[in-house]
Amino acid sequence: MEEGKPAPDFELKSDNGETVKLSELRGKQVVIYFYPKDDTPGCTTQACGIRDVYGEFQREGAVVLGISPDDERSHVKFKEKYDLPFTLLADVDHTVSDDYGVWGEKSFAGKKYMGVSRSTFVIAEDGTVKRVMHQVKPDTHADDVLETLRS
């Protein structure tokens, strides 16, 4: 995934049961953030960080999409529990995660598994990748993304 190149289009089910297609969001900046799992400490910190400054994302005209391998039902619980104002998308078969290069082997506590790398892609109004952010820090993620949206 390279900055300045077209973002891979996708179509995924959202937490409210609707289908979201990236190409239908042209004309707006889109923040796509990939996260490993609903309601885990780092993912909750990251999501709540965006929630807490969501008005600033809106002022920048940005659409926020959180994507994880969890299903829609899990997303609904996560969204309701933390009052998240943005859309969560279910990438259960990790096709979109593969397309964006964030699905792969991970290691935790000496065990290897397949999962999503915490990564964010800011998509410009014309559908190109404005910024790629890998290994984002949950605590500063929202501010880092807002800086990109404002540039």
Q: 24 lies in which domain range?
A: 11-150
CATH number where 108 lies: 3.40.30.10
Q: Select from 128, 130, 106 the least CA-distant residue to 118.
A: 106
Give the per-residue pLDDT at 19. 96
* Number of structural domains the chain divides into: 1
121 in a structural domain: yes
Residue 123 neighbours by CB under 8 Å, 6+ apart: 7, 22, 25, 29, 30, 31, 32, 129, 130
43 included as an active-site residue: yes
CA separation (Å) from 72 to 46, 67, 98, 103?
19, 11, 19, 19
Set 12, 20, 31, 43: catalytic member: 43
What is the C-alpha separation between 130 and 150, in angstroms, rounded?
A: 12
Give the per-residue pLDDT at 26. 96
Give the per-residue pLDDT at 108. 74
64 in a structural domain: yes
5 in a structural domain: no
Integer distance in angstroms from the first to the last C-alpha of the chain? 20
Residue 19's SS3 state is strand
2 in a structural domain: no
Could you list the pLDDT tens digit for every one of the 151 residues in the chain? 889 999 999 999 999 999 999 999 999 999 999 999 999 999 999 999 999 999 999 999 999 999 999 999 999 999 999 999 999 999 999 999 999 999 988 877 788 888 899 999 999 999 999 999 998 899 999 999 999 999 8
125 in a structural domain: yes
1 in a structural domain: no
3 in a structural domain: no
Kindly state the tokens that stand for 64.
Answer: 């926020």
26 in a structural domain: yes
